Amino acid sequence: MRTLVLGWFSFEYYGATAGDLMAKDVVCEWLDAAGHSFDVALAPPFEGGVDWRTIDPAPYTHLLFVCGPFGESPDTVAFLERFGHCRKIGINLSMLQDLDEWNPFDLLIERDSSKEANPDISLLCDQPKVPVVGLCLVEPQEEYRKRARHREANEAFERLVDSREMAVVPIDTRLDKNGTGLRTPAEVESLLAGMDVVLTTRLHGTALSLKNGVPAVALDAIVGGAKVTRQAGVLDWPVCFQVETVTDEQLGEAFDYCLTAEARAKARECAAAAQRVLAGLRRRFLDEVDAPTSSNAS
């Protein structure tokens, strides 16, 4: 017996979701448990499977379609007819038509239909969790003139992101015109606080991450270093690089360090030390805000 597994991931750019692919992994595990050999039909951008349109149908005894809305259409009729000799199984489908009107399956375990509903099988998929990483970049800063290297800094972070599996969350701290839908300081800080790591070319991306115990890979986009470098130094945060000297290897090692408990403890330590210093600055302000103006002030 041999089964061909199809889903909306079997059709080129047909809107296959993470849930579709998780459901596919679940049914493949079920087929293994049932002792079935199987192939998975995949279409771009997904790779590694077979093309249901060109593969020889003859070796297959079962056709299994998994996950998503399912109704009678030219696409569904095409593969049902091409594999017409197979036992047809539908799993985790939302049937668009009344089952008394149209049900092409010999075995249907639906997600929902005119007759019943079941939990979505993606709940059974044991996916590994990857780091959730904030990407907090500053816009080009013309005030630094020829020292500015924002494009190079952004590209360095792009290479880092491409080198590892991570869930990247763009975070814009600018609030007069925000590129990520954030509206208030509380929204910005809450998002930064929820990250595992923050990659940033911004001073406040660095400071507010550390404030919330989140390690930051800080990259100063200004040749020779500017306010990002100075702030990392005064906070005693060691993970700060300058754009003209940083290497991909350094960024990768820094990212790995920032995922450790040691890095999170260091971030909390830096924030606590800074807050103690700032308590002194507050006292100084209160003591001196109404002091007599110096006679040599202009």
How many Å from the N-terminal Cα to the C-terminal Cα in the chain?
92
Indicate whether 180 and 273 sit together in one domain: yes
- How much is the pLDDT for 13? 83
Question: Per the structure, how many domains does the chain have?
Answer: 2
CATH number of the domain where residue 21 is located: 3.40.50
Residues 189 and 88 placed together within one structural domain of the fold: no
| 14 and 33 fall within a common domain | yes
- Asked if 220 and 226 count as a contact pair (C-beta separation under 8 A), the reply is yes
Q: What is the mean pLDDT of each run of 10 residues along the chain (298 residues)?
A: 96 92 97 96 95 96 97 93 97 97 97 97 94 92 79 96 97 92 97 98 97 98 93 97 96 98 98 96 91 68
Residue-level pLDDT at 290: 87
CATH of the domain at 174: 3.40.50.2000
- Parent domain of 14: 2-124
pLDDT of residue 297: 53
The answer to whether residues 207 and 75 belong to one domain is: no
The answer to whether residues 169 and 93 belong to one domain is no
pLDDT of residue 49: 96
